[in-house]
Chain A
Amino acid sequence: MRIIPFSISAIVSIGLIIIFNTNLILPAPLGKLLSPQHGIWQNAEKTNEDFTANLSFPQLAGKVNVYFDERLVPHVFAEQENDAYFVQGYLHARFRLWQMELQTLSAAGRASEVVGDVALNHDREFRRLGMVYAAENSLKEVEKDPIIKAECDAYTAGVNTYIENLTESQLPIEYKLIGYKPEKWSNLKTALFLKYMSWDLAAHEDDFEMTNAKSFFSREDFEKLYPAVQDSVDPIIPKGTVYPKAKIDIKVAPSVDSLYFNQEPIPIKEQKPDKDNGSNNWAVSGKKTQSGYPILANDPHLGLNLPSLWYEIQISTPGFNAYGVSFPGSPGVIIGFNDSCAFGFTNAGRDVRDYYEIKFKDESRKEYWFENEWKKTDFRFEKIKIKGKPDFMDTVAYTVFGPVMFDKNFDGNKTTNHKNYAVRWKAHDPSNELKIFNMLNHAKNYADYSAAVVNLHTPGQNCVFASKSGDIALRTQGEFPAKWKGQGDFVMPGTDSSYMWQAMIAMDETPFQYNPERNFVSSANQLPADVTYPYYLGSGYTPYRGIIVNRRLNAMNNITVEDMKQLQTDNFNMFAEMALPVFLKNMKVEELNADEKKYFNILQTWNFRNDVDSKGASVFFLMWKHFEDTVWNDEFEKAPKVIKKPFESTLLEAVLKDSSFKFLDDINTNQKETLADEATAAFRKAVIELKDAEAKGKLEWGKYKDTKVQHLAKLEPFSRLHLPIGGGTHCINAAKTNHGPSWRMIVSLTPQTEAYGVYPGGQSGNPGSKYYDNFIDTWSAGKYYLIWVMNKAEEKDKRVIGKMIFSKN
């Protein structure tokens, strides 16, 4: 044996294996990743893959046949209902495991385990908000309900069956690239996923921002800047509806004027869900349609990601036959229809998250002052595991209000005033949201729908309904606290119960409409009811999409599915129609130079449509952006950093009403600026950006806006960028840069259901599958897929590309 060359060569060999098996030297374990039998090549799915399989699992009670159609939508036919949920769990895991786990890890404040300490602040904030506490409370409710418990158990078993049978080579590619493995699913994870949706849809508030604004501006200015109700509002439940007197007599805290409406600034910044999470839905009665049967439409606006939030599915059991989109992570069909009716949602957007300032006895935080005595704190110990680092321990104090989210240990990563703020969030309360989807999937009529939706507590939603029997309805559903005017708009004192939520608004007091005279119902995140509604509704509702939806629906008759498709993908900018005249009237055209005049001409001839090739839409967008900055920046530059600029509607309504609106004047100059000065100055600033955009060939709205659907880990090659789609904020087609219609659905409730749908993604979560993003171009183009509600007898239909059979043995 030749010792020296042998040793050298052996060391080199072992060294190479270590280099290619770890990321000690290379950024990724390239040997492991590129091994054709283990690594990423195994995720390169055959383009003619048919997914056919014969599977047997002892957990099943009967047989389940799954037929995949050419869009890879599974049509699940189960002999036993719970078997259908088992199979749904299995399919979600088969096609979407990585996203399901990532979303629930993130919800639980465990993202650091996967991505390292970059997520530590996110994890601490989510734990301190009490996400896991909330999920545990809702799981307790699920466990009291044998039907939902069995549904969840079956779903969890299905997910785990898939995970248990998963080999290393079959792992989703993201696990291979990041280097970790999936853990077992549980009912708690399903609850966590739903709490993640609650966070996304019902955690938005501006309490710290508004507290700061209130402390900075005079009371008179504050009311001008942050009015509670917009003038132009066309509420979900039309004006003129008569509401009975409130059942709950809410007592305003006696100290409001001294303690509440005057406070010092608070420098805390939180992680916020997108404020534009919203949606459109409507249903028109048969009196307005060509067929004589109702049509229902819904498009929820959410973050646009790959893999998509939605997974399309048909579930057919002896008890129901439902089709629609489901959440990977949760059983049932969430938005869809069955053989009798259709259902959909938009976000109610009510403020159900408030803060209370807590006074602890001492540093130990063991006791806090409440109702004239020291009360004992409960502690929850949060152990956060961090990839490649030691664990991080966080101790969260719980009070009668809820967890103390911000204190001297955690301030949302901003400077702090060392005070303690407990969060009261409606999503902490026990509730059983899965029940509403279970009941809606089974619903046969309006009574069933009504019985189903009252189970929805958080996130509050505007639930639209239409049935083949001819009914249409819409309820602004949720369990909402009955608040006195202004309650919870700012951070509240927490030393006694006078500022606490006193009661929840009774379910029969929620605004609703059932077969109204106007023959349609609609919602687009606007104010749910006008000022005659006997409870405080808060502010921050966007009025514009609602106005255009109602204007169009009012004018339409003999409606066809085609009309509904056009309406749902309409790029008309309602806000621009109301705002542009202000600029056209007040612009000092004579002072504009040739360049500026060119863009002004584009604006003058613009048709208010945010179409993909519209230049006017870009000009208007930038002009308005600079107009807001020009008007507000002088007043806000000295304001506390954590603050909120007034809504677009506030500024627009102010200048429509009063061309000498106080804030138009630039307080940094000696002369008094007018609306004409500010509009012209804003336009000039916009032109600088417009010229730059034009030089880059990005003046057309679609290119300027640059819509994309991003991979959840933000890996660019797995994302779809630069999509040619119009629309945007204030358009019914609310496609913004990375946010917009996440599922478009239209259901005509004719005896033989005619339904259409599309979402910006694909059924497979695997970037190596041709089904990963194959719906995106259809979605961008404003086109739809005809939905196939399969009948079991159609097994031999040519649309079936593969068949999975699940049986007990």
Chain B
Amino acid sequence: MKFIISLLLIALLSFVACLYLPWWSIAIVAFIVAVLIPQSAGLSFLAGFLSLFLLWGSLSFWISNTNLHILAHKVSLLILKIDNPFLLMLATAIIGGIVAGFASLTASFLRKKKIASPVY
């Protein structure tokens, strides 16, 4: 449950933050959420990573889809040297994910004790 809440909260707050702040505000959001909702290091990373992976992946897909991928074809060729809009979306999602993931991970080490992974 904590995991799902962190994931959703990071995604939502990142979206709001990026309306006003630079792109790296996603790291601050992921950090703060991970402080407020403590989880094990592994789950913290995963919550941050997945949250931004899904947010940036779906946002870029949604925007590109309304554009019939006109721009993504060109920019993927320009940046990745391959004409593949979906690869550009994947790169976007991974960059968002990895930055938020490490920010969450950092926050998880703030606590003194190791939190045991929940047992299902």
Q: B109's contact among A9, A16, A41, A173, by CB below 8 Å, is which?
A: A9
The reply on A660 being an interface residue by CB < 8 A is no
Q: B67's contact among A21, A30, A35, A44, by CB below 8 Å, is which?
A: A44
**A1-36 toward B: CB 8 Å interface, digit per residue (1/0)?**
110011001101100110011000000101111111
The reply on A717 being an interface residue by CB < 8 A is yes
Q: Which residues of B contact A20 (CB under 8 A)?
A: 24, 95, 99
A-B interface contact total, Cβ < 8 Å: 126
**In the complex, A538→B74 CA distance in Å?**
47
Q: B110's contact among A1, A717, A767, by CB below 8 Å, is which?
A: A1
Q: Which residues of A contact B71 (CB under 8 A)?
A: 40-41, 43-45, 173, 767-768
> Smallest CB–CB gap between B29 and chain A, Å?
12
Interface centre among B23, B68, B110 (most CB of A within 10 A): B23
Nearest CB in chain B to that of A773: its residue: B70
Q: Which residues of B contact A1 (CB under 8 A)?
A: 109-112
**In the complex, A46→B60 CA distance in Å?**
13
Given contacts A10-B106, A13-B103, A43-B71, contact A37 B79 (CB under 8 A): no
Interface centre among A1, A34, A38, A715 (most CB of B within 10 A): A34
CB atoms of A46 and B66 under 8 A apart: yes
> Smallest CB–CB gap between A297 and chain B, Å?
33
CB atoms of B77 and A16 under 8 A apart: no
CB atoms of B56 and A35 under 8 A apart: yes
CB atoms of B67 and A45 under 8 A apart: yes
**In the complex, A38→B15 CA distance in Å?**
11
Tally A residues with Cβ within 8 Å of B: 43
CB atoms of B109 and A37 under 8 A apart: no
**B86-117 toward A: CB 8 Å interface, digit per residue (1/0)?**
00100110011011001101100111100000
Nearest CB in chain A to that of B100: its residue: A13
CB atoms of B23 and A35 under 8 A apart: yes
> Smallest CB–CB gap between A52 and chain B, Å?
16
Given contacts A1-B112, A40-B71, A41-B63, contact A31 B102 (CB under 8 A): no
**In the complex, A367→B41 CA distance in Å?**
77
The reply on B40 being an interface residue by CB < 8 A is no
CB atoms of B67 and A38 under 8 A apart: no
**In the complex, A33→B88 CA distance in Å?**
11
> Smallest CB–CB gap between A5 and chain B, Å?
5
> Smallest CB–CB gap between A181 and chain B, Å?
14
Interface centre among B56, B88, B95 (most CB of A within 10 A): B95
CB atoms of B91 and A47 under 8 A apart: no
CB atoms of A34 and B78 under 8 A apart: no
Q: Which residues of A contact B22 (CB under 8 A)?
A: 21, 32, 38
**In the complex, A774→B18 CA distance in Å?**
33
Interface residues of A in 695-734 (CB under 8 A from B): 715-718
CB atoms of B106 and A34 under 8 A apart: no
The reply on B59 being an interface residue by CB < 8 A is yes
CB atoms of A13 and B106 under 8 A apart: yes
Q: Which residues of A contact B63 (CB under 8 A)?
A: 36, 41-42, 44
Interface residues of A in 714-766 (CB under 8 A from B): 715-718
Nearest CB in chain A to that of B111: its residue: A1
**In the complex, A34→B24 CA distance in Å?**
12
CB atoms of B18 and A31 under 8 A apart: no
CB atoms of B41 and A5 under 8 A apart: yes
Interface residues of B in 28-61 (CB under 8 A from A): 31, 41, 56, 59-60
The reply on B27 being an interface residue by CB < 8 A is yes
CB atoms of B78 and A30 under 8 A apart: no
CB atoms of A47 and B67 under 8 A apart: yes
**In the complex, A48→B66 CA distance in Å?**
8
Q: B78's contact among A16, A46, A717, by CB below 8 Å, is which?
A: A717
CB atoms of A718 and B64 under 8 A apart: no
CB atoms of B59 and A41 under 8 A apart: yes
Given contacts A36-B59, A718-B74, contact A47 B105 (CB under 8 A): no
Q: Which residues of A contact B60 (CB under 8 A)?
A: 34, 36, 41
Nearest CB in chain A to that of B92: its residue: A34
> Smallest CB–CB gap between A307 and chain B, Å?
14
The reply on A770 being an interface residue by CB < 8 A is yes
> Smallest CB–CB gap between A609 and chain B, Å?
35
Q: Which residues of B contact A30 (CB under 8 A)?
A: 79, 91, 95
**In the complex, A300→B96 CA distance in Å?**
48
Nearest CB in chain B to that of A34: its residue: B92
Q: Which residues of B contact A48 (CB under 8 A)?
A: 66
Nearest CB in chain A to that of B71: its residue: A768
The reply on B19 being an interface residue by CB < 8 A is yes
CB atoms of A717 and B15 under 8 A apart: no
CB atoms of A34 and B77 under 8 A apart: no
The reply on A39 being an interface residue by CB < 8 A is yes
CB atoms of B74 and A717 under 8 A apart: yes
> Smallest CB–CB gap between A740 and chain B, Å?
23
Nearest CB in chain B to that of A769: its residue: B70
The reply on B72 being an interface residue by CB < 8 A is yes
**B1-37 toward A: CB 8 Å interface, digit per residue (1/0)?**
0000000000000010011001110010001000000
Given contacts A20-B99, A47-B70, contact A6 B110 (CB under 8 A): yes
Given contacts A5-B109, A37-B19, A41-B60, contact A31 B75 (CB under 8 A): no
**In the complex, A317→B24 CA distance in Å?**
48
CB atoms of B18 and A13 under 8 A apart: no
Q: Which residues of B contact A38 (CB under 8 A)?
A: 18, 22-23
Please, could you name 6 A-B residue pairs with CB atoms under 8 Å apart, sorted by A?
A1-B110, A12-B102, A13-B103, A28-B79, A34-B91, A35-B56
Known: A36-B59, A44-B67, A718-B78. 15 other contacts (CB 8 A): A16-B99, A30-B91, A31-B24, A31-B96, A31-B99, A34-B56, A34-B91, A35-B92, A38-B18, A40-B75, A41-B59, A45-B67, A47-B66, A47-B67, A717-B75
A interface with B by C-beta (< 8 Å): 1-2, 5-6, 9-10, 12-13, 16-17, 20-21, 28, 30-48, 173, 177, 715-718, 767-770, 772
